[in-house]
């Protein structure tokens, strides 16, 4: 069993090394799911407008076969505030573009769309992106709304 202790709380006791050796693209799929529509990864179809503020619930489901942390990253459409973790208000309200969602954790973020264009959001772990854990979304100008 892998065991490491750090002051930042990122490492934990688990079977990660053994799971990583057994995991490949044929038996491991990582995904982001829009629970409102059921769409996953590239099927997610969001259209936002400059000035929109969107509360997003990021749930790293407990009980999966290979639980791990996911650093969720949103490209240049705007920044977000981490609103709360597991219902506990975030004491450090600073603008972010990435949030670590720990295994089994629920994080709410408040996203402020400021830049028009086509953007992407994804887990910041390369193997998870390769498996499809990403999606694109559009931010439109507010005119004509």
Q: Identify whether 112 is part of a domain.
A: yes
pTM: 0.79
pLDDT in tens, 93-118: 999 999 999 988 999 999 999 999 99
Domain containing residue 36: CATH number:
2.60.40.420
Element holding 43 (H helix, E strand)? none
Domain that holds residue 95: 30-140
Q: What dihedral angle (degrees, nearest 10) is formed by the CA atoms of 89, 91, 96, 102?
A: -60
Measured from the Cβ of residue 73, the count of other Cβ atoms closer than 10 Å reads: 17
Q: Identify whether 89 is part of a domain.
A: yes
Q: Identify whether 4 is part of a domain.
A: no
Residues 122 and 66: their CA atoms lie apart, in Å, by 18
pLDDT in tens, 74-84: 998 889 999 99
Q: Identify whether 131 is part of a domain.
A: yes
Q: Identify whether 25 is part of a domain.
A: no
- Number of structural domains in the chain: 1
Q: Identify whether 99 is part of a domain.
A: yes
Contacts of 63 (CB under 8 A, 6+ apart): 104
Q: Identify whether 8 is part of a domain.
A: no
Structural contact between residues 129 and 92, judged by C-beta atoms closer than 8 angstroms = no
Q: Identify whether 117 is part of a domain.
A: yes
């Amino acid at each position: 069993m892998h065991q490491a202790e750090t002051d930042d709380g990122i490492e934990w006791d688990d079977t990660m090394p053994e799971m990583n050796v057994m995991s490949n693209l044929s038996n491991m799929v990582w995904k982001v799911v829009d629970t409102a529509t059921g769409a996953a990864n590239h099927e997610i179809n969001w259209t936002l407008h400059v000035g929109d503020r969107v509360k997003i619930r990021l749930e790293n489901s407990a009980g999966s076969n290979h639980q791990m942390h996911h650093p969720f990253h949103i490209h240049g459409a705007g920044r977000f505030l981490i609103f709360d973790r597991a219902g506990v208000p975030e004491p450090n309200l600073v603008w972010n573009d990435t949030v670590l969602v720990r295994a089994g954790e629920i994080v709410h973020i408040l996203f402020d769309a400021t830049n028009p264009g086509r953007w992407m959001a994804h887990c910041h772990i390369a193997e998870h992106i390769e498996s499809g854990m990403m999606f694109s979304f559009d931010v439109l100008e507010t005119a004509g709304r």
